[in-house]
């Protein structure tokens, strides 16, 4: 399975913060935002990853992440000239995906999910998405279930949501997603919607929507309030537990992409900030 991080867009809801830099490069407590979705892909068992962003921001991501080799991964980069919707990621990434399955994660979404929940999605036949109970479902794609948790409908940012279950920005698909994405028509707002991809899988009877319960966390960072909440959440959990969220080096080490010697090499130049000290303890634990 290949992975794609969609880290484009203009971040207009966070202006003036994002006038000069990509939202996904902004800090969430002690790491750049993109570290969090990247760690989600690594914990999913994926180490071939395409980062899609604007032509302006792409060099910054390349400088930050490199070719991925230091993490035992392979990173590639692709420019999205115009933000035409999330489903465009599969068209832009067609050559990268090849004949493999693919996971798309949004660059401004933060997840805390059990590793076995993520790795189980690699066996996807059709599509796997998630449902997460929120207080403001009108901001998201919304899924409605019956009493047996069979999916009845999916809507994109409805004015009157049929449920409180939002669809987070984490999607696993088989290879047919490429042709599906190519054939969906632009929505009323002129975008190729990921919701239409999900609806097509639902129409085919090939969409698995899994509920994320209280033992998981999902945070998006699309507003000033949610950005601040994400920072506070990560700070509180890390200081309380002594464990980091979204640490890509830890993910690479735990998933076996790098060994102890390689982790210690990465840690050495990061020791002044305390981040490296965490990696040293991790290597020696």
> Where are the alpha helices (H) located in 51-166, listed in sequence order?
58-65, 88-92, 94-97, 115-119
Task: Quick: pLDDT tens for 47-66.
Answer: 999 999 999 999 999 999 99
Question: 126: which 2 tokens?
Answer: 């059709």
pLDDT at 59: 96
pLDDT at 189: 82
Cis omega (within 30 of 0) for bond into 16:
yes
pLDDT value of position 190: 83
Torsion angle, CA of 116/117/120/125, rounded to 10 degrees?
Answer: 180
Strand partners, 106: 6
Average pLDDT of the residues of the chain: 95
pLDDT at 154: 94
pLDDT one-digit tens code per residue, 125-148 = 999 999 999 999 998 999 998 888
**In the prediction, which pLDDT does 147 show?**
84
Q: Which residues contact 137 (CB under 8 A, 6 or more apart)?
A: 158, 161, 163, 164, 165, 166
Q: Give the per-residue pLDDT at 187.
A: 87
- pTM of the complete model: 0.96
96-106: average pLDDT: 98
Question: Considering only CA atoms, which of 158, 103, 166, 106 is closest in space to residue 131?
Answer: 166
Angle at 180 between CA 141 and CA 80, to 5 degrees: 75
Banded pLDDT at 250 (limits 50, 70, 90): very high
Asked whether the predicted pLDDT for residue 81 surpasses 80, the reply is yes
Confidence of residue 194 (pLDDT cuts 50, 70, 90): very high
Query: What average pLDDT score do residues 236-262 get?
Result: 97
According to the model, what pLDDT value does residue 15 have? Answer: 93
Question: Residue 41 — very low, low, confident or very high, per pLDDT cuts 50/70/90?
Answer: very high
Q: Is 39 exposed, middle or buried (0-12, 13-18, 19+ CB in 10 A)?
A: buried
Q: What is the largest CA-CA distance in the chain?
A: 54
Question: Domains in the chain and their CATH numbers?
Answer: 2-284 (3.90.550.10)
pLDDT at 126 (0 to 100): 97
In this predicted structure, what is the pLDDT of residue 150? 84
| Angle of the 275-284 helix axis to the 260-267 helix axis, nearest 10 | 160
Q: Can you tell me the distance from the alpha carbon of 86 to that of 75, in angstroms, rounded to the nearest whole number?
A: 20
Q: What is the pLDDT of residues 142-172, one digit of tens each?
A: 999 888 878 899 998 899 999 999 999 999 9
The predicted pLDDT at position 214 comes to: 84
- pLDDT value of residue 191: 87
Q: What is the mean pLDDT of residues 197-218?
A: 93
Q: Is the pLDDT of residue 36 over 90?
A: yes
């Amino acid at each position: 399975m290949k992975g794609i991080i969609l880290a484009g867009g203009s971040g207009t809801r966070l202006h003036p913060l994002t006038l000069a830099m990509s939202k996904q490069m902004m800090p969430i407590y002690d790491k750049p935002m993109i570290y969090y979705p990247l760690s989600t892909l690594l914990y999913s068992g994926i180490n071939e990853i395409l980062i899609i962003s604007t032509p302006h921001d792409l060099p910054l991501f390349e400088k930050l992440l490199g070719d991925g080799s230091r993490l035992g991964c392979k990173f590639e980069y692709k420019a999205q000239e115009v933000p035409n919707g999330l489903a465009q990621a599969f068209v832009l990434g067609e050559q990268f995906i090849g004949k493999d399955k693919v996971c798309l994660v949004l660059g401004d979404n933060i997840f805390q999910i059990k590793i076995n929940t993520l790795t189980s999605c690699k066996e996807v036949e059709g599509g796997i998405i998630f449902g997460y109970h929120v207080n403001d479902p009108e901001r998201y794609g919304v899924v409605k279930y019956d009493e047996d948790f069979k999916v009845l409908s999916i809507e994109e940012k409805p004015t009157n949501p049929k449920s409180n279950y939002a669809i987070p920005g984490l999607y696993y698909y088989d290879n047919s997603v490429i042709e599906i994405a190519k054939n969906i028509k632009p929505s009323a707002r002129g975008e190729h919607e990921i919701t239409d991809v999900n609806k097509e899988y639902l129409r085919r009877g090939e969409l698995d929507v899994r509920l994320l319960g209280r033992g998981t966390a999902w945070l998006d960072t699309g507003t000033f309030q949610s950005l601040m909440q994400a920072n506070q959440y990560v700070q509180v959990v890390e200081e309380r537990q002594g464990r980091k969220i979204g640490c890509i080096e830890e993910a690479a080490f735990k998933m076996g992409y790098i060994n102890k010697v390689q982790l210690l090499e990465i840690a050495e130049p990061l020791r002044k900030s305390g981040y490296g000290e965490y990696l040293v303890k991790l290597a020696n634990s």
